[in-house]
Chains A and B, each alone.
Chain A
């Protein structure tokens, strides 16, 4: 086997991978343990792969084999795949494309890296270099998903860093993604363009729960219905032993009442007290009647 050093452009990528190897608890990484913190070592770990460690603990791959197979071998055996962030994935794809244009293998690599597949993956890859630095740093720090980044970037085009920072402040990965999705969904509404939305969000009060705020913007009528029925049920002041459960999405017309009881006499007595209790309550408008509830929230804004 002739061994040729890979082009220097690869070096940074394998630096990132090396960090991942160091963190990997997997047994297979034992192969790498002698390599860590050692200088000048070379290992043959696979027919087509040689790993060298230089004095900065960088890992450099040298090979004359099929580059896709090497990535596959390397990633499958030595890296905890979950630790490859999309930024690293993008660098790996850059590197792969430097050596190989085979679309089929590229798409296999996408799947290996959990990058979106096929043409969509390619579109995202090509657009990636236009992402703002804030967006890229969020991707790097695993604060935002790749699909969400792409759609957000496409929706708000330029100059979105301020909004993005606001949306991802104090949020987990999944929360950021929910916020981002809700943002571009709402801004896609005919009446609410991206600029309107941008301003509205920037105006919000500090301390406001952004996820809830966005959710209620998108699901305005649903949230209003939930608030109305919850208020109505609260006003019924049911005794502790009885609770009303309604379908949170209001697909069902009927509700359920849970009554805690210990025997048949207890049940009879509680039903009877409930009857007396409810008879004394004002029940108009009856928001347990879902049609009445709907009428109250649809009156003014049935049409967009």
Chain B
């Protein structure tokens, strides 16, 4: 995995110059390049050029404070079942350089943003309450960036673990493609922290996730975390229609479960590759050799393009079969899929988008 500790230019929001996290990050970066202050991030964005390639975006760093709604419901899309997940945009931008990354189509600022004001985030979280005792709120920071890729600079994982320690109504997930887990290994799992690893066959990760940890490194990290008592989530997303996909995904799954037990799994999500028109034009330009767009894609209900339905179903079924061969009770769900695909793959739908909790109840994650 690439060591993400060097930036060309750092921009710091004026009132955060003395913030302890700013100081910590600067100390760890030992940055010798330019540092500027700014008052208004919108003005900063406006005065900058649009950036296309994610690696250009990750050359410059902005230390800023979180804006807008701090705890957001994960943006499920029209006609598709969402998994009732909540996100905190702690990081905006990501240096892992995945060719299929949806952020290419969303972000246009030429820098990676770290929102350093963790105290505001935690204060907001402390005011959130769940409606009934049976409910559990799943929260993660991996929506607009990788949850752990900058953790060696920020130590946010330690702050979150400390905060969620005694809050059993929350389930907090760090979602990553790194093995940046040193902080996590310092703390025993309080029980409600899940570490999510995105997984794809090695033939794909080498080609399409150039700056991520290798699959062996991810599996190794997962097994170290299990030893420390953490639950693991697995994200087969995006699943890609590659030659011999059955064998490729089956070998990957065998490899994972040769190191960790199905009992250590909190949940498993599956999602096939999908794209918007914006993402398409970014992939064409940024990763023309990826071959990602060559397949048989159709426009679906939420305006995204997905593999033709029988292809998606075949891909999901292949992954599901390999997983259920390990254990028939694997806690699987589909990410942003239509009820039709849910039914033909999992034989059921969770009813409505907000009712994913059945899965976690079944798994004993919700008591």
| Chain A interface (Cβ < 8 Å from any Cβ of B) | 103-104, 107, 117-120, 147, 151, 154-155, 185-192, 218-222, 225, 249-253, 290-291, 294, 297-298, 302-304
Contact = CB atoms under 8 A, between A and B. Distances in A.
Nearest to A151: B284
A294 B310 contact: yes
A252 B49 contact: no
**Interface core residue of B281, B289, B291, B308 (most chain A CB under 10 Å):** B308
Nearest to A251: B300
B241 A250 contact: no
Contacts of B338: 251
A189 B298 contact: no
A188 B310 contact: no
Given A151-B284, A219-B308, A120 B52 contact: yes
B246 A303 contact: yes
A75 to B, nearest CB: 21
Contact of B49 (A104, A151, A219): A104
B162 interface: no
Nearest to A124: B285
Interface of B: 49-53, 56, 241-246, 281, 284-285, 288-291, 293-296, 298-301, 308-311, 313-314, 338, 340, 344
A291 B293 contact: no
A251 B309 contact: yes
B252 to A, nearest CB: 16
Nearest to A295: B310
Given A250-B308, A251-B301, A251-B309, A189 B56 contact: no
Nearest to A189: B294
Given A188-B289, A221-B308, A294-B309, 6 more contacts: A118-B49, A188-B294, A190-B294, A192-B294, A221-B310, A298-B314
Contact of A190 (B52, B53, B243, B308): B243
A222 B297 CA distance: 9
Given A221-B310, A294-B309, A117 B245 contact: no
Contact of A186 (B243, B246, B284, B294): B294
Contacts of A290: 309
Given A104-B49, A189-B291, A298-B310, A304 B296 contact: no
A251 B285 CA distance: 29
A251 B51 contact: no
A251 B341 CA distance: 9
A205 to B, nearest CB: 24
Contacts of A186: 294
A253 B341 CA distance: 10
B340 A251 contact: yes
B51 A222 contact: no
Given A118-B52, A303-B246, A304-B242, A221 B291 contact: no
Contact of A250 (B50, B243, B294, B309): B309
A117 B294 contact: no
Contacts of B340: 251-253
A303 B295 contact: no
Nearest to A218: B296
Contact of B293 (A185, A225, A250, A303): A185
19 contacts: A104-B49, A107-B49, A117-B50, A119-B49, A119-B56, A147-B284, A154-B288, A186-B294, A188-B293, A189-B291, A190-B242, A190-B291, A221-B308, A222-B298, A250-B298, A251-B298, A251-B300, A251-B301, A303-B244
